[in-house]
Amino acid sequence: MRYFTKAEFACKCGCGFDSINHDLTELLDALRDHFEVPITVNSGCRCIDHNQAVGGAPRSQHLLGKAADVVVQGIPPRLVAEMAIQLGANGVKRYNTFTHIDVRDDEWHVV
């Protein structure tokens, strides 16, 4: 990780789960290199309890440390999603204010 710390990906409930996938951090570093602006991680790792509390999917990639919901400073989520796909993200979903990016084994894109 060149631009991030493990703490940025830690479960927000404070349980200590912070085992983030290396492929995901490499992809996010490449995204940061491309846009040349800071990226904020809104949500990274989630334990089962926290995932349920925030309404996450039962089989969420956040539970595996393979997903992050991010905001790229000054860049619309649509452009972030498109670039994440180009950089090799297998799971991408664009929301109004952030982009979900993951490195799941199969492909799933909602842009």
Query: Residue 27's pLDDT band (boundaries 50, 70, 90)?
Result: very high
Q: Is residue 1 part of a domain?
A: no
**Quick one: DSSP state of residue 73?**
T
The pTM assigned to this predicted structure is: 0.93
What pLDDT was estimated at residue 106? 82
Instruction: Name the strand (E) or helix (H) holding 12.
Output: none
Q: Is residue 64 part of a domain?
A: yes
Its domain, for residue 94, covers: 7-110
Q: Is residue 87 part of a domain?
A: yes
What pLDDT was estimated at residue 109? 72
Q: Is residue 51 part of a domain?
A: yes
Question: For position 40, which CATH number holds?
Answer: 3.30.1380.10
If one counts the domains in the chain, the total is 1
108, pLDDT greater than 80: no
Q: Is residue 105 part of a domain?
A: yes
Residues 6+ apart with CB under 8 A from 95: 69, 77
Q: Is residue 2 part of a domain?
A: no
Q: Is residue 13 part of a domain?
A: yes
Query: Residue 111's pLDDT band (boundaries 50, 70, 90)?
Result: low
